């Protein structure tokens, strides 16, 4: 009996705290649109020549790329893409300051293509730089070569990506590294020459391979065992 009586003050205190919490006014829940909706503006980027500003913002409720001249008011902004579905999440300026480049897949299939769109003109035309049934990846680009970019494509074999030098004007591409089947990704130098690669081997180990130039054979530089990877 004495033990039960000793518990009464504690139970009474818990009751008072619970009642106080129940009567307290809690702030309203954050709307789902704030947490999961499209941002107003993201990824502002100034063109390489410093004259233009580009960013991503909704156009007809879908994220697209917008531009305006640096010295113009905000009202002069215009959308240069018109993606009607999933929207555009990332982009970069081509070093000629006349185009922007972005990756986009088709309805979420993750077969990314590389697209180019001019920033001038009343109705800019988007151009697919990597047409076909394939997935494109960006390897490297350089301000010293504004009309070229190094990309990886799995066009030859869907399992593996080969490296290509892509001409952004003519859309011609040159194979610069053929994937033997174990290359995860390639690395290019500042001259856009593919000279390093990360390979994943069948035993779970990995190694870095390098070459002196694009005509030289690959050689192992360093590596890690399966336990170290």
* % pLDDT > 90, the chain: 77
The side-by-side arrangement of strands in the sheet containing 219-224 is 183-188, 194-200, 206-210, 219-224
Tens-digit pLDDT profile for residues 164-173: 999 999 999 9
Tens-digit pLDDT profile for residues 109-143: 999 999 999 999 888 999 999 999 999 999 999 99
Q: How many helices (H) and strands (E) does the chain have?
A: 2, 16
Q: What is the pLDDT of residue 1?
A: 45
Both structure tokens of 218: 């690959």
Rounded to 5°, the CA angle 194-199-203 comes to 170
Q: What is the pLDDT of residue 38?
A: 77
Q: What is the pLDDT of residue 121?
A: 87
Average confidence (pLDDT) over 18-39: 70
Long-range contacts of 209-214 (CB under 8 A, 24+ apart): 214/176, 214/177
Rounded to 5°, the CA angle 147-70-117 comes to 35
* % pLDDT > 70, the chain: 88
Of 35, 36, 80, 34, the closest CA to residue 57 belongs to 80
pLDDT at 194 over 70: yes
pLDDT at 21 over 70: no
Of 134, 102, 137, the closest CA to residue 118 belongs to 102
Tens-digit pLDDT profile for residues 42-57: 999 999 999 999 999 9
Q: What is the pLDDT of residue 31?
A: 78
Q: To the nearest whole number, what is the mean pLDDT of the chain?
A: 91
Of 185, 154, 150, the closest CA to residue 166 belongs to 150
Tens-digit pLDDT profile for residues 210-224: 999 999 999 999 999
CA dihedral 120, 124, 130, 134 (to 10 degrees): 140
Spell out where 71-159 has E strands. Answer: 78-79, 92-93, 99-104, 113-118, 127-128, 136-141, 148-157
């Amino acid at each position: 009996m004495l033990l039960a009586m000793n518990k009464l003050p504690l139970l009474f205190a818990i009751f008072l705290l619970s009642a106080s919490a129940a009567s307290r006014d809690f702030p309203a829940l954050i709307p789902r649109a704030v947490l999961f909706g499209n941002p107003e503006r993201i990824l502002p980027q100034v063109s390489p020549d410093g004259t233009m500003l580009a960013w991503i913002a909704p156009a007809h409720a879908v994220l697209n790329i917008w531009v305006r001249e640096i010295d113009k008011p905000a009202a002069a902004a215009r959308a240069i893409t018109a993606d009607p579905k999933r929207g555009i999440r990332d982009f970069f300026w081509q070093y000629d300051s006349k185009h922007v480049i972005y990756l986009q897949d088709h309805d979420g299939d993750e077969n990314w293509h590389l697209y180019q769109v001019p920033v001038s003109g009343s109705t800019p035309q988007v151009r697919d730089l990597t047409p076909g049934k394939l997935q494109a990846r960006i390897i490297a680009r350089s301000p010293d070569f504004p009309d070229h970019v190094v990309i990886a494509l799995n066009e030859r074999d869907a399992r593996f990506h080969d490296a290509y030098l892509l001409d952004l004007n003519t859309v011609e591409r040159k194979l610069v590294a053929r994937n033997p089947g174990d290359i995860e990704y390639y690395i290019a130098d500042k001259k856009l020459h593919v000279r390093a690669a990360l390979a994943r081997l069948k035993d779970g180990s990995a190694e870095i391979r390098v070459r002196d130039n694009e005509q030289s054979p690959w050689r192992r530089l360093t590596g890690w065992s399966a336990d170290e990877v």
